[in-house]
Structure formats: structure tokens, C-alpha cells
């Protein structure tokens, strides 16, 4: 009895805290909630010893930079906690935010949960009080727009962004008799004027010649299609904009047709058969935001492939520029040292540091000067893997023209829980376009109300 | 000792400080000794339980905090929500698919272990090994094995020319897959508990039955099963509590799914639904209501189990009395 009860209690508590993966139990649950303010009571002496806690996630490439900052500022000690994935970091942040305690001085926030953060944007320090207006020109403008709340408060400094291009497998395209080089491939999709219609049209040609799928699964495409609209699931005034959103429905039917024609390989996203799907020719193209490039490399290698597997990265994206993901550094108002924390966040998101982070972890900088820095545009491990594609240069171009779309409260819930099930219906052939759209609308009434 | 005899001879004398202390010690200390449990229980058991109830009466958002007082509206909302009932169905389906085969297998394994085996300890230890592995690891491994496109099971099926089974996107296959995880982990544990009960059965009963000509199967049915009934009830109750609160296995079975518990919520159990409500949809009040409904459900089922076990144990003692009487006659 006792053992069983312990197990269930532990299951709920622990699993809720470390939802996704094994390792998170050790890394995610350690709160760094004791900023030792031993000298805080002695008043604001100029060289007061300050300990700053920082919570980041994934691979942000900041570890070496903390040391440098500590050397440059001897009165600062940085206590950094890194959580394995963005999903677990969200749970960590949400729990502490809800509890009203335990938040660090500098909290990394992912674009995907920005709509949640904006609900409580007043619990983040307005960085304009700490000089945000003086430095805001360093970022691509839409990155600053994303971090600006409804009251024009700037609550985050941008670190990386996720401008999207298309990864494609040159070897597979060659077998199908299509252009195999990246310029040719980009031209095939329409170059600057690439559209989703064109993308699917080329996909149908490919399918006809090889009998194989064109892309891995429809979810990531749908993500982009929604983000490219001027208004997505919400109107700019904050009202829900799904049922009567004709542009949204048109895109849905377009995607449904592609899936019906077998262009989707119906893979499990984030799994891809442990990477095997990337090397066995299951699909020839893949949606690639900047941070996805490292994931693709990892998947190909996990699947037993290497640089010769044919993957390449092209300067083209159907439907125009699009961004997916990216991170901000914020300063929760619970911080006892907002001034120092804001200074650290500003420093970490400055040009040299973003270049260093890119070289350490492949996070593509949101700072304009860093984007054109030779350290970013030059060749590296990753670009060698992608057939010597000039990744930094392409991503810099792909970052132009993105617009920050208004994200409502339940944006991510609608994306995942309302359209997610219908995407799966499309990919597995369980329902056609109109039916799956209707199913999504029914779910919308149940889930978001 | 000497002091106390002296004092007892003078009963009217008011007690000294030491004596009063000693008397208080005898009277109150036992409560202090048991207090840690109750203090802890009140802190981590009772308080959260009551607080959850308070939360469930509010329109409580995880991030923005308590909203309006809504009374029992959250309960009403959940009891009419198709997704809630879907989760209840999934929970019971997985529970039945896991508990029934699990108990049958556990009894069978225990019966085999109860015979005169060589290397007894080795066999007993080996069946508990799955229990040592954390559920997270089990879920990750099984999730891989049951992969739809690249999993071991479907590869084997395709090798023999059968159609692959959609383990992660269809209801019954996914329930079977998750039940198999639960079974893998808990069968050995239950078998050991049942084995302990079996070993407590007096051996002379078996011997006399054997002399009377009862075969192995008959002895098992007429002696072993009735004797281990109370333990069976215990195992069933714990399995019920555990089964109704299943979370890790369905959560990690398809960890990357955008909806926890399968794309169309095919295996979203109630606790997973509750978690999703609280942490993805931020409906903290409704999640608290679901927690309370689940709590009441488990209490109800526990009471039913208790009632059944009482009926069985009384009928069992009646029977044993009858057999004794017969033996006397």
C-alpha cells in the first residue's frame, strides 16, 4: 500500500515537474531561488557584491560568457541554471510564477510561450528603465516588437531568432531529376516569390517520379502558414480570429490537398524514428528555422548518416519570410538587483556575445551587427555538414521582412490542441480538409472557452 | 526509587516540579511521538487537499491567479465536458486492460514460485527486477518499441507480412501498449506479495488434501485461492488506486505529441487531462475540480472494494469454521 501510494504521489508530483525527459528531473527541479543578498542590506555601495541567478534552457551557448562577465565585473557572481528543454523551462517558470517565488534575476523566455508571459508582463521589469531605448536599434526590429507588451513596455532582450529556410536533400532531388543545388532548388520554388502552392506543386512532381513523400509531416508547415498571416489566431485587438478567418481556412485546405496527395510522410514530429527518417529517403524537404539545423544534423547522425547524406540548406521560404522560435532574456520584478540583472542581460545580448554564443551553440543572433559578423557568416562545423551552405549569410537574409504577429492568450493552445489533432488526421488520411477543419472548430469550442 | 516511596507516604503534599514534569511526560509524550506523522500529513496531505478544494471553487488562472468565486461551476463544467469523460473512459480502459491480466499472471507466477524450485531466491529476485526500473525509463523504452514506423513490434509484424498496428494514434492498440508497460512493471511486485500470502498457508492442509486424492489444480483452487483472498483484495485495492492515477506512462508514451495523451486524446488519462488543464491551458480552477472528482471516485471505489473484502472475509471464516467442525466430527 505504502509503496504504491508513494509511487503514485511521486508520479504526479515529479512527472508534472519534469514532464518530458529523464534528465530534467535532475536539472529542471533545482530551483536557484536564493540570491544571496548578504550585502544587500548595507545599501547601494558602488562595488557591492551581487549574486545574480540566471535560468536558461536548451543549448544557449552562454556558459563561457558568464565566466568572462565575472572576470570583467569582480563584484558580480553568476549562479546559472540550465534546463534541458524549452518545454521543461516553461513548466519551471510557470510554477514559480504561479507560486510567486523562486524566479531568478535573469529568466530566459522562449518565443513560443511569449503569449503566456505577456499575460503577466507587469511581473517583468520594464527594461526601458534600464536603458533599453538606447540599445534597441541593435536588434532586428520585429524582435523588439515581440518583446514589447501592450503598454509599450520592453520586457526582454533578444538573444537568438529562428528565421526559416528550407532544408532539402540534394541526393534525393537528383534521383528525381530535379535541381539538386541550392540555387536551382530555390529557383524551383520561385526564389524570392516562393509560395506554398509552388512548393506543393514541385512536391507533386517529386512524388510522381519517386513515389516518396515530399516533407516530413504537416505540423511545422501549418505553423509557418499561420505565422505568415498578418493576423493569425487572434486579431491585433486581441479577439479570437479562427472561425471566420478565410485566409486561415484557405491555407488549411491547401495543406489538406498536399497531405491527401501523399506529400506528407506522416512522421512523428520530434521523433522521426530516432533520426532514421532523415537517412532512409522518407522525405526530401524539411522546414528549417536557424536552431533546427543543429537538430537536423543530430537526427541524421543518430540515424546513421553524415555529411554525405545529402542535406543542404537553401535561401528560400514559401510564402515569404517567417520566424519560428527564439529567446529573450527578461528580468522578473522579484529580482533584488534589477539594475545589475538588466546590465547582464544587455551585455549577454550584445554583438560579441551573440557571435560567441552562435559559435558555441549555433544560436542565430537577433543583433544585426552580429548577423553580418564573419564569425557568423563564415564556415563552421554545421555549414560543412550542410554541403558547405553559407548558413549565416542565408539566415541573415531570411531574417529580413519578418513581422511580429499578435499572439493571444491561448495561441499555443490553439496551435497544439485545436489544430494539432486535425493535422494528424490529415497526415494519416483519417479525414479530408473540410472535415478536419470542422473537427478543429468543434475542439475550439471545447478547449478555448 | 527511594525518593518516590518517601513521597508516596505523604500523599497530600503538593507535587514537586519534577514530579509534575514526569507525570506530564507519561501523559502527553506519546502524542508527541506520533505527532510528526500527523503534522506532516496535515502539511502535505490535508492542507493541499483542502486548498485544492478552495481553488476548485474559483475561476483560477495558473498565471494571473485567483479570479472570481464561481462556486461549483467548475465541477459542473467538467462533468459536462466530453474531454473529461474521454479521459475517464481511457483511465478505466487502461486500468482494466492492465489489472486483470496482471492479477491472473501474478497469481500464476506466485503459484509457480511457491513450488519447490531450485535457486528460489534467484527466481524471486528476477521477477522484481522490472519494478526497480523507473517508470520514466520503462515508458521511454516501450515508446520506442511501439513506434509506428520504426518500432520493434511493427518491424516484426511487417517481417511476417502483417499490417503495422498504429500503437500511438489508435485507441485500443495504444491502451494495450500502455497496459503492457504497467503490467511489465507491476506483475512481479504483485506476484511477490501473493507469494508471501501463499507461503503462509499451512502446509498440512495441502498434505491432507493430497492424501484425500486432490490433484494440484484442485488443491490450488480449493486451498490456495481461498486462503490468499484477503491479500488479493489488498492487491486489487492498491492496483485500483495506482491504476486510476496513471500518468507517467501515457505522458511519455508519445512525449512529442502536441496534445498530451495522443493526437486525438486516445490515451489521455484523467490525471494527464488534469495536468494538461492546469499547465497547458492554465485552467487551474477546473484542474482542481477534476482532482477532487478523481479523489471522490477513488474513495468510492475504495469503499466498494472494502465492502466486497468484508463480505468475502466473513464468508471465508464461516467456511473455515464449517471445515473445522467437520474435522471435529
Question: Grid coordinates in use for A449?
Answer: 472557452
Q: What is the pLDDT of residue A449?
A: 72
Q: What is the pLDDT of residue B323?
A: 56
| Percent of chain B that is helix, strand, coil (3-state, to 5) | 75, 0, 25
Q: What is the pLDDT of residue A35?
A: 42
Sign of CA dihedral A145, A149, A151, A157: negative
Q: Give the residue from B198, B256, B195 showing the smallest Cα distance to B224.
A: B198
Give domain A163-323+397-447's CATH architecture.
3-Layer(aba) Sandwich (3.40)
The 10s digit of each residue's pLDDT in A140-168 is: 999 999 999 999 999 999 999 999 999 99
The packing angle between helices B229-244 and B82-114, to 10°, is 150
Per-residue pLDDT at B5 exceeds 80: no
Per-residue pLDDT at B321 exceeds 80: no
Q: pLDDT above 70 covers what percent of chain B?
A: 91
A116 and B284 within 8 Å at the Cβ level: the answer is no
Which of A89, A115, A271 is the mutation pick for testing B, counting most B CBs within 10 A? A271
CB–CB contacts below 8 A, A to B: 115
Tell me, yes or no, whether B32 and B147 share the same domain. no
Q: What is the pLDDT of residue A147?
A: 95
Surface of B (38-67) touching A: CB under 8 A: 61-65
Tell me, yes or no, whether B158 and B48 share the same domain. no
Distance CA A277, CA A268 (A): 10
- Give domain status of residue B122, yes or no: yes
Per-residue pLDDT at B8 exceeds 60: no
Give the range among A27-36, A346-355, B166-175, B225-234 with minimum mean pLDDT: A27-36
Tell me, yes or no, whether B281 and B214 share the same domain. yes
A11 and B135 within 8 Å at the Cβ level: the answer is yes
Helix (H) or strand (E) holding A313: strand A311-314
Strand-strand pairing, A106-110 and A50-57: parallel
Tell me, yes or no, whether B35 and B170 share the same domain. no
Query: Which chain A residue's Cα is nearest to B256?
Result: A270
Of B150, B245, B259, the CB nearest to A8: B245
Distance CA A376, CA A431 (A): 44
Distance CA A184, CA A178 (A): 9
Of A8, A94, A271, the CB nearest to B241: A8
Distance CA B241, CA B247 (A): 12
What's B138's domain CATH number?
Answer: 1.10.3720.10
Tell me, yes or no, whether B25 and B100 share the same domain. no
A21-161+325-381: CATH topology is D-Maltodextrin-Binding Protein; domain 2 (3.40.190)
Q: What is the pLDDT of residue A61?
A: 87
Q: Give the residue from B155, B151, B139, B173 showing the smallest Cα distance to B254.
A: B139
A416 and B280 within 8 Å at the Cβ level: the answer is yes
Residues in chain B closer than 8 A to A7 (CB atoms): 135, 242
CB-based burial label for A347 (10 Å; 0-12, 13-18, 19+): middle
Q: What is the pLDDT of residue A46?
A: 57
Q: What is the pLDDT of residue A370?
A: 95
- Give domain status of residue B65, yes or no: no
Distance CA A235, CA A249 (A): 15
- Give domain status of residue B132, yes or no: yes
A11 and B259 within 8 Å at the Cβ level: the answer is no
Query: Which chain A residue's Cα is nearest to B66?
Result: A98
Residue B245, SS3? coil
Arithmetic mean of pLDDT over chain B = 88
Of A269, A276, A417, the CB nearest to B259: A417
Q: What is the pLDDT of residue B236?
A: 87
Residue B132, SS3? helix
Residues in chain B closer than 8 A to A446 (CB atoms): 81-83
B63 and A21 within 8 Å at the Cβ level: the answer is no
Average pLDDT of each block of 10 consecutive residues along chain A (449 residues)?
A: 40 40 36 41 61 92 93 95 89 92 95 91 96 95 94 95 96 94 95 96 96 96 94 92 96 97 93 92 96 93 94 96 95 96 96 92 92 93 93 94 90 92 94 96 91
Tell me, yes or no, whether B324 and B231 share the same domain. yes
CB-based burial label for A350 (10 Å; 0-12, 13-18, 19+): middle
- Domain residues for B219? 73-328
The verdict on B247 touching A (C-beta cutoff 8 Å) is yes
Say if CB B248 and CB B139 are below 8 A apart.
yes
- Give domain status of residue B61, yes or no: no
Tell me, yes or no, whether B88 and B166 share the same domain. yes
Residues in chain A closer than 8 A to B63 (CB atoms): 94, 97-98, 116, 119-120
- Give domain status of residue B256, yes or no: yes
Q: Give the residue from B189, B182, B181 showing the smallest Cα distance to B131.
A: B189
A167 DSSP β-pair partners = A286, A313
The verdict on B148 touching A (C-beta cutoff 8 Å) is yes
Per-residue pLDDT at B2 exceeds 60: no
- Give domain status of residue B131, yes or no: yes
B264 and A425 within 8 Å at the Cβ level: the answer is yes
Specify the number of domains making up chain B. 2
Tell me, yes or no, whether B104 and B156 share the same domain. yes
Residues in chain A closer than 8 A to B61 (CB atoms): 119
Give the distance from residue B251's alpha carbon to the nearest chain A alpha carbon, in angstroms: 8
Tell me, yes or no, whether B111 and B225 share the same domain. yes
Would you list the domain boundaries of chain A? Answer: 21-161+325-381, 163-323+397-447
Same fold, A21-161+325-381 and A163-323+397-447: yes
The owner of cell 568572462 is A68
Of A97, A413, A424, the CB nearest to B263: A424
Q: What is the pLDDT of residue B325?
A: 54
Tell me, yes or no, whether B206 and B313 share the same domain. yes
Tell me, yes or no, whether B40 and B111 share the same domain. no
pTM as predicted: 0.84
Tell me, yes or no, whether B176 and B116 share the same domain. yes
A79 DSSP β-pair partners = A53
Of B82, B147, B279, the CB nearest to A91: B279
Amino acid at each position: 500500500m505504502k509503496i504504491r501510494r508513494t509511487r503514485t504521489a511521486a508520479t504526479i508530483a515529479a512527472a508534472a515537474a519534469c514532464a518530458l525527459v529523464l534528465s530534467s528531473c535532475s536539472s529542471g527541479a533545482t530551483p536557484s531561488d536564493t540570491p544571496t543578498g548578504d550585502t544587500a542590506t548595507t545599501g547601494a555601495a558602488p562595488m557591492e557584491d551581487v549574486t545574480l541567478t540566471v535560468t536558461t534552457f536548451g543549448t544557449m551557448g552562454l556558459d563561457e560568457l558568464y565566466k568572462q562577465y565575472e572576470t570583467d565585473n569582480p563584484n558580480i557572481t553568476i549562479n546559472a541554471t540550465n534546463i534541458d528543454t524549452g518545454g521543461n523551462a516553461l513548466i519551471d517558470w510557470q510554477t514559480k510564477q504561479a507560486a510567486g517565488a523562486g524566479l531568478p534575476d535573469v529568466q530566459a523566455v522562449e518565443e513560443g510561450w511569449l503569449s503566456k508571459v505577456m499575460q503577466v508582463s507587469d511581473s517583468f521589469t520594464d527594461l526601458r528603465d534600464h536603458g533599453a531605448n538606447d540599445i534597441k536599434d541593435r536588434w532586428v526590429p520585429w524582435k523588439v516588437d515581440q518583446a514589447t507588451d501592450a503598454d509599450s513596455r520592453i520586457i526582454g532582450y533578444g538573444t537568438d531568432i529562428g528565421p526559416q529556410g528550407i532544408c532539402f536533400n540534394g541526393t534525393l532531388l537528383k534521383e528525381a531529376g530535379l535541381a539538386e543545388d541550392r540555387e536551382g532548388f530555390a529557383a524551383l520554388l520561385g526564389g524570392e516569390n516562393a509560395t506554398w502552392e509552388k512548393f506543393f506543386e514541385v512536391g507533386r512532381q517529386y512524388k510522381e517520379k519517386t513515389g516518396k513523400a515530399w516533407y516530413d509531416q504537416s505540423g511545422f508547415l501549418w505553423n509557418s502558414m499561420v505565422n505568415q498571416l498578418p493576423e493569425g489566431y487572434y486579431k491585433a485587438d486581441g479577439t479570437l480570429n479562427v472561425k471566420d478567418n478565410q485566409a486561415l481556412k484557405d491555407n488549411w485546405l491547401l495543406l489538406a490537398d498536399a497531405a491527401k496527395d501523399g506529400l506528407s510522410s506522416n512522421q512523428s514530429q520530434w521523433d522521426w524514428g530516432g533520426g532514421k527518417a532523415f537517412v532512409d529517403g522518407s522525405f526530401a524537404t524539411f522546414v528549417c528555422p536557424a536552431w533546427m539545423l543543429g537538430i537536423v544534423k543530430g537526427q541524421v547522425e543518430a540515424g546513421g548518416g553524415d555529411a554525405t547524406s545529402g542535406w543542404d540548406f537553401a535561401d528560400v521560404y514559401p510564402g515569404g519570410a517567417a520566424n519560428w522560435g527564439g529567446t529573450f532574456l527578461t528580468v522578473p520584478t522579484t529580482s533584488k538587483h534589477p539594475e545589475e540583472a538588466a546590465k547582464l542581460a544587455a551585455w549577454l545580448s550584445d554583438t560579441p556575445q551573440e557571435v560567441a554564443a552562435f559559435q558555441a551553440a549555433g544560436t542565430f543572433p537577433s543583433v544585426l551587427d552580429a548577423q553580418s559578423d564573419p564569425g557568423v557568416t563564415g564556415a563552421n562545423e554545421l555549414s560543412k555538414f550542410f554541403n558547405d551552405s553559407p548558413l549565416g549569410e542565408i539566415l541573415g537574409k531570411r531574417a529580413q521582412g519578418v513581422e511580429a504577429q499578435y499572439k493571444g492568450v491561448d495561441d499555443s493552445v490553439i496551435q497544439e490542441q485545436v489544430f494539432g489533432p486535425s493535422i494528424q488526421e490529415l497526415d494519416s488520411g483519417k479525414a479530408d480538409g473540410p472535415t478536419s477543419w470542422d473537427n478543429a472548430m468543434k475542439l475550439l469550442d471545447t478547449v478555448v472557452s | 526509587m527511594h525518593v518516590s516511596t518517601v513521597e508516596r507516604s505523604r500523599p497530600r503534599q503538593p507535587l514537586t516540579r519534577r514530579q509534575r514534569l514526569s507525570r506530564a511526560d507519561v501523559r502527553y509524550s506519546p502524542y508527541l511521538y506520533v505527532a510528526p506523522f500527523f503534522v506532516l500529513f496535515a502539511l502535505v496531505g490535508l492542507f493541499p487537499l483542502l486548498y485544492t478544494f478552495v481553488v476548485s471553487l474559483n475561476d483560477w488562472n495558473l498565471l494571473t491567479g485567483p479570479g472570481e468565486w464561481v462556486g461549483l461551476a467548475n465541477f459542473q463544467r467538467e462533468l459536462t465536458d466530453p474531454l473529461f469523460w474521454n479521459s475517464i473512459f481511457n483511465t478505466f480502459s487502461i486500468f482494466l486492460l492492465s489489472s486483470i491480466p496482471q492479477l491472473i499472471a501474478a497469481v500464476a507466477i506466485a503459484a509457480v514460485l511457491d513450488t519447490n524450485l531450485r535457486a528460489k531466491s534467484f527466481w524471486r529476485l528476477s521477477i522484481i527486477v522490472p519494478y526497480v526500473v523507473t517508470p520514466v525509463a520503462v515508458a521511454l523504452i516501450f515508446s520506442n518499441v511501439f513506434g509506428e514506423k520504426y518500432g520493434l513490434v511493427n518491424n516484426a509484424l511487417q517481417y511476417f507480412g502483417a499490417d503495422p498496428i498504429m500503437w500511438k494514434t489508435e485507441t485500443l492498440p495504444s491502451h494495450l501498449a500502455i497496459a503492457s508497460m504497467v503490467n511489465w512493471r507491476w506483475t512481479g511486485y504483485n506476484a511477490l506479495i501473493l507469494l508471501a500470502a501463499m507461503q503462509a498457508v499451512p502446509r498440512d492442509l495441502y498434505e491432507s488434501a493430497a492424501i484425500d486424492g486432490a490433484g494440484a489444480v484442485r488443491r490450488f483452487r480449493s486451498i490456495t485461492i481461498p486462503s490468499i483472498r484477503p491479500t488479493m483484495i489488498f492487491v486489487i485495492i492498491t492496483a485500483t488506486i495506482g491504476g486510476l492515477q496513471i500518468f507517467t506512462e501515457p505522458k511519455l508514451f508519445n512525449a512529442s505529441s502536441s496534445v498530451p495523451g495522443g493526437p486525438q486524446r486516445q490515451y489521455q488519462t484523467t490525471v494527464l487531462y488534469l495536468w494538461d488543464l492546469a499547465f497547458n491551458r492554465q485552467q487551474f480552477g477546473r484542474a482542481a475540480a477534476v482532482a477532487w472528482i478523481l479523489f471522490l471516485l477513488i474513495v468510492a471505489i475504495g469503499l466498494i472494494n472494502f465492502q466486497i473484502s468484508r463480505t468475502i472475509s466473513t464468508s471465508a471464516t464461516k467456511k473455515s469454521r464449517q471445515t473445522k467442525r467437520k474435522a471435529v466430527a
